[in-house]
Amino acid sequence: MTMYAKDVMVVSFDKIHQDAPIENAIKLILNGRVRKSGHKTISLMVVDDLGQLCGVVSMYDILFHLRPDFLNLSVEANTLLWTGQLRRLVEALKGKNVRQVMSMNVMSAQLDDHIIVILDQMIKNKYRRLPVLEHNKPIGIIYLSDIYYHIFSSI
């Protein structure tokens, strides 16, 4: 059995512009597509004005940026009083755009990359998804769960 990126990638995926309000990304992820494997999409590819990939925004990125910045400075959340703060944090997050929240410097795959090369890259870097690019434009995305599904559903 030989498998390449083009055999496993999902070609129906959601994209969002880097300057879109983060609220648009939140809504797209809330209503994410359910893939053939049964898993729901929890991330969006972020593109620029030329349609080129410039990042990925995921549910994790959004929740990370919901938290106040000072929690990144070794302050423990359980030492503070949070009653009544969630609405304020959500409103502050809504004031951001996708560019401010997305993960940048995203690794990618090419159509003819062997599935083991892709799997190795994903496992070593703890990635759950890997965009497939052609001329820096997203043409597909490979999810770790879909690799699992494709490999083991055929044996």
Concatenate the DSSP letters of all residues of 62-125 into one string.
Answer: HHHHHS-GGGGTT--GGGS--TTTHHHHHHHHHTSBHHHHSB-S---B-TT-BHHHHHHHHHHH
SS3 label, residue 10 = strand
**Sign of the dihedral defined by the CA atoms of residues 148, 150, 151, 152, in that order:** positive
pLDDT mean over 4-21? 95
pLDDT in tens, 103-153: 998 999 999 999 999 999 999 999 999 999 999 999 999 999 889 988 998
Residue 1 has pLDDT above 90, yes or no: no
84: left (phi over 0), alpha (psi -120 to 50) or beta: left
pTM for the model: 0.89
Contact 22, 62 (CB under 8 A): yes
